[in-house]
Amino acid sequence: MSYLKNPKITRKQGKKTKHQKELDSLPVINRFNENVISNEKDVKEFEDEIYNEEIKATIRKIYEPNLRNLLKGCYQCGSCSSVCQLSKVQKYTPSKIIYQILVGLEDNILKSGILWDCTTCNTCLQNCPELISFAELVRNARYKMRKLYNQTPQDFFAHEGIFLTISEIMSKEGIQPTKNLEWIPEGCEITDKGKILYFMGCIPFFNFEFRDLTPIAAGSLKLIHSIEKEPIVILKDEICCGHDLYWGHGKLETFIRLARKNFELFKNAGVSNIITSCAECYRTLKFDYPKIFDDFDEKFKISHLIEYIYENWKQNKIKFKRPNGNNGLIRFSYHDPCRLSRFLPRENKILDNLREIFEHLKQYGYEFNEMEHNKEDSLCCGVSCWMNCNESSKALRYKRLLEAKSAGNMLVSSCPKCLIHLSCAQSDFNDVSTIEIIDFAEFLINSIDFL
């Protein structure tokens, strides 16, 4: 499948990044040697260096020092390379990277820095017959690249790394950010203690550099409050969930500190249900925090706003309607974020439930059209974890917007960063600049009757 149609952003065929050139210079071994243990001595010394008594147990829950252990079962079919979204816009070959690690050249891969290029979109996992997660490989490797080789990939940070810095500051002991709550909609009662928490994530910090994203939080809170008809917990000192540090930047200790602070905030507030409208916060709270805290699932139910709306619809607590003052046909499509489409267990039905809602909306003047790539096959916005905002990611975004334009006048999503990155691309390409890009909460707020 082709991801590029506009010659303005097409890379020359075969053009290689600095990291790919370094990778191509590595020696080739023509057979597997099952007795090879990749840099076994370095791994042991590395563990002794980084593991102190305070964080040892927690780090080992989320980190695998020997990358070969993450690749067991790979028989080099090459599926990962054939579907890799990044490979459509620059030279990138995951199967070659995996091969080098399997034959004992893990050190060379780490030194080359090639794994900083990956978008961690997880498309490869969806097509791997052995269900090997290249994104998990990259996540573990980035931590090791920082610790073992002292790599600090400043060249890959988007926006000068400001959002990474904000997250790191929030992880420090004694730091308690106070969020502005002027965005709270009129009539919505909030509290600092209760059973239901709306976790808004880092939206307030994004507002300093991008368009105003507070309508996402305002719409979400208004939906939840209108259904529950009771005060909803909003924490003024809520902090980042740590997603970007965990998946993108190899800063696992910082991620753990953020998780511990959030865990204490949740407990002190007495909450049992946590609702978020962010795809990344949802993935992190629901699936990554339980790896750190053994009783997290017992204490807290994590729901994305999509799940929350779907459950209440099925329980006849809400019904849908035509938006006030709109008598025309509303043609729209939906952009599936990577963290909702390829980072959830296969038994998770959030994508199917969402489309059931969209199908129901047809009777109220909506026309939902799928883009060419949808659900698990959805295209990535290209800038995961504020990394690699470059020509390659711009090419991915442009292709996505072309698909959206073919599907309708409006593009809905459930990831604030996807909204930011796709909207940013519109300023570069006039032919896709007229598409309205909005969040799921903004999309639904005027189409629901509360019973």
Q: What is the pLDDT of residues 105-161, one digit of tens each?
A: 999 999 999 999 999 999 999 999 999 999 999 999 999 999 988 887 777 777 777
- 30 pLDDT above the threshold of 50: no
Of the two residues 158 and 217, the one the predictor is more confident about is: 217
Tell me which residue range forms the domain holding 206: 157-313
DSSP 180: -
When pLDDT is cut at 50, 70 and 90, the band that residue 34 belongs to is very low
- 56 pLDDT above the threshold of 80: no
- 18 pLDDT above the threshold of 80: no
Rounded-to-integer distance, Cα 56 and Cα 127, Å? 34
| Residue 303, SS3 per DSSP | strand
Pairing of β 318-320 and β 301-304: unpaired
Does residue 424 sit in the same domain as residue 303? no
When pLDDT is cut at 50, 70 and 90, the band that residue 212 belongs to is confident
**Residue 259 falls within a domain, yes or no?**
yes
- 32 pLDDT above the threshold of 50: no
pLDDT at 23: 53
**Within its chain, how far is the Cα of 258 from the centroid?**
17
Does residue 242 sit in the same domain as residue 106? no
pLDDT at 29: 35
**Residue 2 falls within a domain, yes or no?**
no
Rounded-to-integer distance, Cα 218 and Cα 182, Å? 10
Q: Which of 74-78, 181-185, 276-280, 325-329 has the lowest mean pLDDT?
A: 325-329
- 448 pLDDT above the threshold of 50: yes
Last residue of a domain, one of 284, 313, 342: 313
Overall average pLDDT of the 238-262 stretch = 94
When pLDDT is cut at 50, 70 and 90, the band that residue 46 belongs to is low
pLDDT at 387: 75
Does residue 57 sit in the same domain as residue 165? no
Mean pLDDT score of the chain, rounded to an integer? 87
**Residue 348 falls within a domain, yes or no?**
yes
| Residue 255, SS3 per DSSP | helix
Residue 167 belongs to a domain with what CATH number?
3.40.50
pLDDT at 173: 87
Does residue 161 sit in the same domain as residue 309? yes
Does residue 301 sit in the same domain as residue 163? yes
Last residue of a domain, one of 114, 134, 151: 151
Rounded-to-integer distance, Cα 171 and Cα 56, Å? 18
When pLDDT is cut at 50, 70 and 90, the band that residue 19 belongs to is low
- 443 pLDDT above the threshold of 70: yes
Angle, helices 416-426/391-407, rounded to nearest 10 degrees: 90
pLDDT at 272: 98
Our count of domains for the chain comes to 3
Measured at the CA of 79, the angle between CA 76 and CA 84, to 5 degrees, comes to: 125
Angle, helices 40-50/134-149, rounded to nearest 10 degrees: 70
Does residue 167 sit in the same domain as residue 305? yes
**Residue 273 falls within a domain, yes or no?**
yes
Distant-in-sequence, close-in-space partners of 272: CB < 8 Å, separation ≥ 6: 195, 196, 299, 300, 301
Question: Closest by alpha carbon to 450, among 345, 319, 330?
Answer: 319
pLDDT at 199: 97
| Residue 437, SS3 per DSSP | strand
Q: Which of 145-154, 188-197, 245-254 has the lowest mean pLDDT?
A: 145-154
**Contacts by 288-292, CB closer than 8 A, 24 or more apart:** 288/62, 288/243, 288/246, 288/259, 289/259, 289/262, 289/263, 291/61, 291/62, 292/58, 292/61, 292/62, 292/256, 292/259, 292/260
pLDDT at 62: 96
What's the one-letter identity of residue 348?
N
Q: What is the pLDDT of residues 362-406, one digit of tens each?
A: 999 999 999 999 999 999 998 887 777 788 888 999 999 999 999
How many of the other CB atoms lie within 10 Å of CB of 75? 8
Q: Classify the phi-psi angles of 150: left when phi > 0, otherwise alpha if psi is within -120 to 50, otherwise beta.
A: left
Does residue 147 sit in the same domain as residue 170? no
Rounded-to-integer distance, Cα 88 and Cα 193, Å? 49
Does residue 115 sit in the same domain as residue 165? no
**Residue 104 falls within a domain, yes or no?**
yes
pLDDT at 40: 47
DSSP 86-106: GGGTS---HHHHHHHHHTT-H
When pLDDT is cut at 50, 70 and 90, the band that residue 12 belongs to is very low
Does residue 173 sit in the same domain as residue 123? no
**Residue 1 falls within a domain, yes or no?**
no
- 235 pLDDT above the threshold of 70: yes
Rounded-to-integer distance, Cα 92 and Cα 89, Å? 9
Rounded-to-integer distance, Cα 383 and Cα 421, Å? 7
What's the one-letter identity of residue 90?
Q
Whether 380 contacts 396, CB under 8 Å: yes
Does residue 79 sit in the same domain as residue 143? yes
pLDDT at 21: 57
Last residue of a domain, one of 247, 280, 313: 313
Does residue 107 sit in the same domain as residue 36? yes
Residue 60 belongs to a domain with what CATH number?
1.10.1060
- 3 pLDDT above the threshold of 60: no
Does residue 111 sit in the same domain as residue 94? yes
Whether 380 contacts 245, CB under 8 Å: no
Angle, helices 252-269/162-170, rounded to nearest 10 degrees: 50
